[in-house]
Amino acid sequence: MSKLSENIKSRRKQLNMTQDELAKKLGYKSRSSINKIELGINDISQRQIISFAKALDTTPAYLLGIEEQNKDNEIIIYTNGRKKEYQVTNEQLEIIISMLSQFIKE
């Protein structure tokens, strides 16, 4: 498995996204194409790397292993002594902040 394949799979899981969801975002007919890419069976073009980066809210450089993932959108929640970490998109972060603002005002 290549670094690209590993990073695609890792980032998808960080976002709690299924292979089906990623396939739909990218216009693939089924998750099997995503599965083959994540296993390193199928290669993707430069243009596809850019599309994957956009769909996974990251950069092509991260997917290629040139830079580390920016953890600015990491949310950590502690519940009953357990730590759970989430990577969220900018859009998801805005929604969470909006919801928290509403909750705190009430």
Q: Could you give the CA distance from residue 84 to residue 104 in angstroms, rounded to a whole number?
A: 22
Domain ranges for the chain = 3-64, 74-105
Tell me the average pLDDT across 90-104. Answer: 87
Cα(42)–Cα(40) distance, integer angstroms: 6
Confidence bin at 69 (pLDDT 50/70/90) = low
- Please state the rounded mean pLDDT for residues 14-33: 94
Tokens encoding 40: 């390193």
SS3 17: coil
84 has a pLDDT exceeding 80: yes
C-alpha to C-alpha distance for 17 and 22, rounded to whole angstroms: 7
Helix (H, G, I), strand (E, B) or coil at 4: helix
Which CATH number describes the domain made up of 3-64? 1.10.260.40
Higher per-residue pLDDT: 1 or 29:
29
